[in-house]
Amino acid sequence: MPVPDPFLQGVARGWRVLDASRLEADPVFEADVIIVGSGAGGGVSAEILAGAGLSVLLVEEGSLKTSSDFENDEAKAYAELYQEGAARMTKDGGISILQGRTVGGSTTVNWTSSFRTPEPTLSHWAEAHAVTGLDAVSLVPWFEHMEARLGVSPWTVAPNPNNDVLRAGCEALGWHWATIPRNVRGCWNLGYCGTGCPTNAKQSMLLTTVPAALEAGATLIHRARAERLVLEGDRVVGVECRGMNATLSRPEGPRLHLRGRHVVLAGGGINTPGLLLRSKAPDPFERLGKRTFLHPVNLTMARFEQRIDGYYGAPQSVHSDHFQWREGVTGPMGFKLEVPPMQPSIMAALFGGHGIESLARMSRLSHSNVVIALLRDGFHPESQGGQVMLRSDGTPVLDYPLNDYLWDGVRRAYLAMGELQFAAGASAVMPGHSRARFSPSWPDFREQVKALRYARHDVRLASAHVMGGCGLGDDPRRAVVDSHGRHHQLANLSILDGSLFPTSIGANPQLSIYAVVACLASRLAARLGA
């Protein structure tokens, strides 16, 4: 049964969608507002600003791929839809970073978990980072608005066996667990959210806000990297872009010149501060790119007698916050427990080992479960996150040092996950570490975890949530933008994406970005006199 492709239908109806690599040389575009990035922040901004009657130009470095292109093919998706071909990592290679690079940004490839920003996080922002107007009460209508817009509601289908391990382990131990709200409508429960939803069930920006903006007359230019902002005094007077090559690895295409009276940056963590650094934007207090957070993730693998088939079914439907706040908001690192989708290529990268050992692990994939811990960074003085810097070719890279505060969180998370998996009936559990082995019992696992070396490259760390780097707050000495998302030094520049956050969120961040940006973009629309 063929699935309709509403994006291509819209293009056929006359939406203005341009591939920068195919434009004639040196075109100039003008609009009221230029938005750089079409992910969670850019998509929501585009819908609101275009809906308010402003002319909007939306620029995306990735290419336009729609449901007709999504084939549940891991390697193809990682190459086409992810930043740096899914090989993005921190400067010293210590943490792998999965981040979207396509129309819709990470929302096109995320696993649909949709949490409201935890109240302790918002309170901490007000107390420690001088953030105003984004408290738990003020944001309620924005959460409600975006949840309704994107069909966010708790998953009503039974969890797949991989998620059910998390539920069963928490039940057995008396730990908190809950069903995850997902942004889907008519989900087929396939399990391939990470390679682009082939049925248009996921209410990503590709399916919702970007089409709404195009319907309202916005222009989308994809395959265009914003290379530099043109600055004059305290104003941004243009955005210089360049078309990308076929594999999106090099900006070799036509140069584009964009002019607008207001500019919104929404390239996400790493890319938004990177663009500002390349543009030599004023940064008198040296805040730009600092305090970039990742929710560093570590993992444990468990073997079961029964089939788990973790590559099928909604990838995330159960989570546990048992360890999130129990040590205090600013104490030892808290973490959220979830599970990942378990397609073979990505699992091969996580299982580790080589030769007989690797094959023994991979040949049990169908009977394996993986639990992940999302470590909440940015709340403790010893958790300053990373700093975005520029490589010699001008592309951004995140320098994220690993310290003992983080290793302590990693160790406690290994223990929590292993205990949980044994409680759920695992026959053996292994921490995600280059020198680890499967432990046949909980006491043996505990001893193994205590004896591990906590060092870069030994501990397998990944991240799918880049946050911060252009932190918001009313004190210009400590923040890049004010609590409205307005740049402290550049008058007609707003930042409306995950790089705003002064700490990590403590939950998968998409709904936090949607709600905060919906709130700030609506204020911006009013200010621009629409």
Partner 1 sequence: MPIVLSRRELLKLGLGTSLAVSAIGVTASLAGCSSDRPATGFAVLRDGDLAPLAALLPIMVGPHPALQQEQGAIEAALHQLDRSLASMSPAIQKEVRELLDLLNLPLTRGPLTGVWGAWEKASPEDIDAFLVRWRDSRLDLLRQGYKALNQLLLMAWYALPMAWAETGYPGPPRI
Q: Which listed residue (13, 24, 28, 93) binds partner 1 by CB under 8 A?
A: 93
Q: Which listed residue (311, 379, 414, 422) binds partner 1 by CB under 8 A?
A: 311
Between CA 238 and CA 230 the distance in angstroms is: 5
The binding track of 53-72 with respect to partner 1, each residue x by CB under 8 A or -, is: ------------------xx
141 or 344: CB nearest partner 1: 344
Shortest distance, CB of residue 410 to partner 1, whole angstroms?
Answer: 16
| Total residue count of the chain as it appears in this document | 530
Between CA 125 and CA 502 the distance in angstroms is: 7
Q: Which of 417, 435, 242 is nearest to 354 (CA)?
A: 435
- Indicate the DSSP class of residue 108: G
Shortest distance, CB of residue 462 to partner 1, whole angstroms?
Answer: 11
Shortest distance, CB of residue 2 to partner 1, whole angstroms?
Answer: 8
Shortest distance, CB of residue 274 to partner 1, whole angstroms?
Answer: 12
Shortest distance, CB of residue 245 to partner 1, whole angstroms?
Answer: 10
73 or 215: CB nearest partner 1: 73
Hey, is 448 helix, strand or coil?
helix
Shortest distance, CB of residue 365 to partner 1, whole angstroms?
Answer: 4
Q: Is 106 in the site for partner 1 (CB under 8 A)?
A: no
Q: Is 358 in the site for partner 1 (CB under 8 A)?
A: yes
Q: Is 330 in the site for partner 1 (CB under 8 A)?
A: no
Strand partners, 57: 34, 219
Q: Which of 62, 58, 61 is nearest to 220 (CA)?
A: 58
- Indicate the DSSP class of residue 439: B
Between CA 440 and CA 412 the distance in angstroms is: 19
Do the beta carbons of residue 400 and residue 90 sit within 8 Å?
Answer: yes
**Taking every pair of C-alpha atoms in the chain, what is the biggest distance, in angstroms?**
67
Q: Is 100 in the site for partner 1 (CB under 8 A)?
A: no
Q: Is 127 in the site for partner 1 (CB under 8 A)?
A: no
Hey, is 26 helix, strand or coil?
coil
∠ at Cα 109 (106, 112), nearest 5°? 90
What are 67's two structure tokens?
Answer: 């449901």
Span between the terminal Cα atoms of the chain, in Å:
44
Do the beta carbons of residue 298 and residue 148 sit within 8 Å?
Answer: no
Q: Is 348 in the site for partner 1 (CB under 8 A)?
A: yes
How far is residue 5 from each of residues 43, 65, 146, 198, measured CA to CA in Å? Answer: 18, 11, 23, 9
Do the beta carbons of residue 512 and residue 117 sit within 8 Å?
Answer: yes
Q: Is 176 in the site for partner 1 (CB under 8 A)?
A: no
Q: Is 339 in the site for partner 1 (CB under 8 A)?
A: no
Q: Is 3 in the site for partner 1 (CB under 8 A)?
A: yes
Within 395-424, the residues that bind partner 1 by CB under 8 A are: 395, 397
9 or 358: CB nearest partner 1: 358
φ, ψ (nearest 5 deg) of residue 388: -80, 130
137 or 356: CB nearest partner 1: 356
Q: Which listed residue (73, 135, 240, 283) binds partner 1 by CB under 8 A?
A: 73
96 or 163: CB nearest partner 1: 96
Q: Is 135 in the site for partner 1 (CB under 8 A)?
A: no
Q: Is 352 in the site for partner 1 (CB under 8 A)?
A: yes
Element (H, E) at 467: strand 467-468
**Residue recorded with tokens 């999965």:** 98
Pick the piece of the chain touching partner 1 (CB under 8 A) from 226-234, 297-305, 363-371, 373-381: 363-371
Between CA 212 and CA 54 the distance in angstroms is: 13
Within 229-258, the residues that bind partner 1 by CB under 8 A are: 247-250
What are 525's two structure tokens?
Answer: 């629309």
138 or 247: CB nearest partner 1: 247
**Footprint of partner 1 (CB under 8 A):** 1, 3, 71-75, 78-80, 84-89, 91-93, 190, 192, 198-199, 247-250, 307, 309, 311-312, 343-349, 351-360, 362-367, 391, 393, 395, 397, 434-435, 455-458
